[in-house]
A and B are shown apart, each in its own frame.
Chain A
């Protein structure tokens, strides 16, 4: 079993709709979590950190569920420009070894 797992998708989303997807992690020692966005043939770009209380940045909301060991990302009012692969990452408390999931591909269509 991979340490961080994601549904590869693709999630086909009509423009303006809401889409949500999860990322599960197996290492209970993981303390820090992040969502990155990666466009085709580009580098991963940090989208947001995920805090215990959940956090929101515009149309994006991230949640952490420690009991069930998953994080989620919700995108509201999807834009065509939201089409990308979304990578989740987990890191332990000590050291900064980020372990990435395989990514979830999101395709927003008109």
Chain B
């Protein structure tokens, strides 16, 4: 009965590789998000999709490309990984894409780039 799930939970890879993280929610929510939490624990929004449409695209290197095949799934593909990409990536979802809509987070993907 997991609400927001992510795979993989851990990802260790070398610089220059390309990797993907997957997220699925079974809450019936319309909006999904990707956040990055760095080593200093700051949690920052990267992208948001509402019903498969990109609505938030923060200043993120274009090596990061989100993709939403349907409103229950949001994937994140990262090209040419760099050391600075090491972080925990959290997926989240909310009922709506408006202010005040509560967001629920997945368990996170801990990415380590060596």
Residues on A close to B: CB < 8 A?
31-32, 34, 42-46, 49, 85, 87, 91-100, 102-103
Contacts and interface: CB of A to CB of B under 8 A. Distances in A.
Nearest to B104: A46
Given A43-B90, A43-B107, A46-B104, A94 B43 contact: no
B41 A103 contact: yes
B81 to A, nearest CB: 22
Interface of B: 31, 40-45, 48, 55-56, 90, 94, 96-108
B41 A98 contact: no
B41 A96 contact: no
B108 A96 contact: no
A30 to B, nearest CB: 8
B102 A100 contact: no
Given A43-B90, A43-B108, A95-B97, A49 B102 contact: yes
Contact of B99 (A92, A100, A102): A92
Contacts of B107: 42-43
30 contacts: A31-B100, A32-B99, A32-B100, A42-B107, A42-B108, A43-B105, A43-B107, A44-B43, A44-B105, A46-B102, A49-B100, A49-B102, A85-B41, A91-B99, A91-B100, A92-B99, A94-B98, A95-B55, A95-B56, A95-B97, A95-B99, A96-B97, A96-B99, A96-B101, A97-B45, A97-B56, A99-B45, A100-B42, A100-B43, A102-B42
A49 B104 CA distance: 12
B96 A96 contact: yes
A34 B102 CA distance: 8
Contacts of B48: 96-97
A96 B94 contact: yes
Contacts of B104: 46
B22 to A, nearest CB: 16
B106 A102 contact: no
A49 B103 CA distance: 11
B48 to A, nearest CB: 7
A81 B90 CA distance: 23
